Structure formats: C-alpha cells, structure tokens
Amino acid sequence: MQCVFWDNFDSFYFIGIGGTSMSALAKFLLSAGKTVAGSDAQDGVYVRELRDLGVKIYIGEERRSVKDYDVIVYTDAIKPDDFQLLEAAKSNKTIISRGQLLYEVSRVFKHVIAVSGCHGKTTCTSMLAHVFSRAGKSFGVHIGGRDKKFSNFHLTGNEYFITEACEYKKNFLLLKPEIAVILNSEPDHLECYGSMEKLLEAYASFASFADTSITRYGDNFGGITFGYNKKATLYAKNITCEDGLYRFSVCEGNVNLGEIRLNVYGKHNILNALAVVTVCLNVGMGFDVIAQGIADFDGVERRFERLGEVNGAVCIADYAHHPSEIRATLQAARKIAKGKLITVFQPHTYSRTKNLFKDFVKVLSPLNKLLIYRTFPAREYFDDAGSALTLSQAVKRSVYGDSAGDIKNFIDCAEEGDVVLFLGAGNIYDIAKQIINS
C-alpha cells in the first residue's frame, strides 16, 4: 500500500493525536510502516491504544520540538499560533491538515465509500464495516467513534475504503468517493457555512463528486434513495419493535428483498441500516450476508451505550448533541424506561447552541427531570447567548449544573426501573463513568 504523498516521508507528528479521526489515521500510517508520534491536551483511550502500538505521545506541557519529524499533521481545533505549527512552518516542514491526510489515505484504495450527514455517520460507517467483514471483503475503515469490535480503524486490504466524511469546514469536499452517502442534511456547523443554503450547496457538491450518490428520500440530492416512502429506491416496510429493538422488511418497488433485524436501539437506526443495505447491494453483495452483517453490529461507544447502574436505574450514554439526535435518543430511551426518565445534557459548542437555540428548547422542554451541564466549548470562546446557563433558563423545568457533584446529586433520585441518560459530545461521558463507578 503506497501513495505518492508519503513515499518520500518516513516520520509523521500529529498535533491532536488523541482525537478519534487523527488516531485512526495514525494507525493507518503505522500499518504502512511509518514512524508516528504526536501530542494532545490530555490522555484518553486512543492515546493508550497508540502507546500500546509503540507510538510516542506527549501530553499537555510535555509537548516539545517537532524538528525531528518529516510531516506535521494538525486538526481544525489547533489554533494557527500553536507553537508546534509555527516551528514546523519556520523549519519548512511539510504541514497537512487532518482532512487532507484523510484524502491521501483514501487514494490508496481502489474504491472509496464516504458517509456524510448531520448525524448517523459513525453508526452507519461501523455497520458497513461489519457487513464488509461478514462478506469477507478486502477493506479499511475509518470510524469517527469507537466500534466495539474494530475500534476506530480496521484494515484487511486495500480494495474498499469506508470513511466518515465530516462537513465541518467543508472537509468532506476534499474527498473524491466512488460512492457518496448523505444520511441527512439538517442545519449544523452554520458558523462555518453562514446559512443553510450554503450547507445544502456543499452537500450537493459532495454528491456530485461521486460516481454513485445514495441519499435519504426527500433531501433532493438525486441518485439512489432510501427512506420510508414507497417512492424511494429502497424503503422500510412491516416495521415492528420488541424491547426497543426494531426489525423491518426492505422493499424495492413491489419486491420484498428480505428482513433486517437491528441489534442496536432506536428507530433512527432503521434509516442508517437502509443506507447500509443500499451501499452493499450497489457493490454486489447478496441480501442475506448484508442482513447477517447488520445483525453482527451491536453498537459504538457513546451511541446509546449502557454504562452501568445507579440505585438500580440503568445509565445510558449517547453522543447526541444536535436537537434531532436528542429527539431520537429520547424516543429510544422511552421505549425501555419503566419508570422515570432522568436526563443530563451537556451542550457542545456555544455556536451550535446559539444557532439552534429554539430547537434545543423545543426538544428539551417536555422533560420533567433535566439537568443542563456547563457547555463543552471545544474550539470556541465563551458566548453567553449560547451558554448552558442561558439554555437552562429558557427550559423552564430544567436545572443548571456546574460540577460533577451537581450531576451526582441530581441523579441520586434514580431508582430501579428508571433510565438515566447522559447526552452530549463533550466530557460528559467521562464524568458519567466516574460517577457511576465511584
């Protein structure tokens, strides 16, 4: 496996190596025989995985000179005045962004399948990996989360590359996939695009780059469609739910292709599975092996993940940080809750909360037991208009929390039969695990 870009380079240094996508790319370069090192603000599961593979990683103040490395890779979260980036530029090092490196990696493979959308990318990408594995295909997968079997990267060969295609800062437009999947196109990252119209234009461009586009029916991007409507190329019929798990028939026109049984919670995963079926049929797989592969998939870390119990109540963590994702997760939780639904939500970025403020208020207001925890700012500076406190003041029956102790006290009312939800894409996941295991 070779690519013109790194043929002349032996060593790579990742600034922000502990991120899901960055660590996956680091693993690929290791598989290609390259020397990899990096740094990050804090330790984490991906840092530990890379260290187990022999990668040198420097945390926080341990960061040092990058002069001994050929290529410097950075994420969009790294500020332009970062001292390692400045040193790399001054030393005339080759500097490449995460999105650009992902494109270079994709060029190694004969066929590229890129999964985009406001939500569902990680689940769909992971589900595809399980089907391709079940089918015995030669593939590599780059996942924006931690699959229970494959983690965030898995490689068996270079025929197919399955990857998430992130729309943040138009990164997905760097890819040139053979098959482009658009799961949905709801408003997000508007601080980058300026308007929903510009975001939709970007999705349309992404679809146009591909030989084949696979899109949700009704989103008007053309190509092969999937959904609930019988006018879609593939649609779901005979939907049933048992103990929160769905099964359904996949139909094409008047032809029933067979039944899919999901092993993950949430009705929204029907659409994710339909997209997977559509992709896999398109590359020539039989329906039976597709159904088996989807049944093999039992979830991704932080996607309706059961963490344990508090006072006999089941505790579940979910990455939901967009109003539509929150709505879908709440629907799934209500299917399994026999008692109260107790929710802790951490907003992710001030800009998203500000831009979608009314939608957040609408989806959170019906909850009777809700704590809104302080905002995870990611790459942003404080903005009161998009803060967790401001959101909590607008959601009348909610309370605001500023510490792990506030969360622990809030969920102490839980009892057997209740479900405790921890929602958000920030550090709420780690806080939840600490509380449950304390």
pLDDT digits (tens, 9 = 90+) for 143-156: 999 999 999 999 99
- In sequence order, what DSSP letters do the residues of 51-69 get, joined into one string? HHTT-EEEEGGG----TT-
* SS3 (DSSP) at 372: strand
Rounded to the nearest 5 degrees, what angle is found at the Cα of 64, between the Cα atoms of 62 and 67?
A: 160
Q: Residue 1's pLDDT band (boundaries 50, 70, 90)? A: very low
**What does the pLDDT read at residue 44?**
86
Mean residue pLDDT across the chain: 93
Which pLDDT does position 4 carry in this prediction?
59
CA dist., res. 342 & res. 391, Å (int): 18
Render pLDDT for 208-228 as a digit per residue (tens, 0 to 9).
999 999 999 999 898 999 999
pLDDT given at position 7: 79
| Residue 436 predicted with pLDDT over 80 | yes
Between 110 and 193, where is the model more confident? 110
Residue 181 vs residues 187, 197, 396: alpha-carbon distances, Å: 17, 19, 39
What is the rounded distance in angstroms from the CA atom of residue 234 to the CA atom of residue 227?
A: 7
The pLDDT, as a whole number, for residue 190 is: 65
Structure tokens at 208: 């146009």
How do residues 9-46 score in pLDDT, each as one tens digit? Answer: 999 999 999 989 999 999 999 999 999 999 998 888 89
Query: Taking 80 as the threshold, does the pLDDT of residue 125 lie above it?
Result: yes
Structure tokens at 402: 């500023």
Asked whether residue 74 carries a pLDDT value surpassing 80, the answer given is: yes
The C-alpha atoms of residue 331 and residue 338 are separated, in whole angstroms, by 13
Contacts of 418 (CB under 8 A, 6+ apart): 312, 313, 314, 337, 338, 339, 340, 341, 342
Contact 353, 377 (CB under 8 A): no
Residue 372 to residue 176: CA distance in whole angstroms: 40
Statement: residue 259 has pLDDT above 90: yes
Q: Which two tokens stand for residue 42?
A: 């804090």
Residues 162-167: what's their mean pLDDT? 93
Kindly state the percentage of the chain with pLDDT values over 90. Answer: 79
pLDDT tens figures, 336-395: 899 999 999 999 999 999 999 999 999 999 999 999 999 999 878 899 999 999 999 999
pTM: 0.86
Query: Is 271's pLDDT higher than 60?
Result: yes
Binning pLDDT at 50, 70 and 90, where does residue 187 land? low
Instruction: List pLDDT tens digits, range 102-111.
Output: 999 999 999 9
- In this prediction, residue 343 carries a pLDDT of 98
Confidence of residue 290 (pLDDT cuts 50, 70, 90): very high
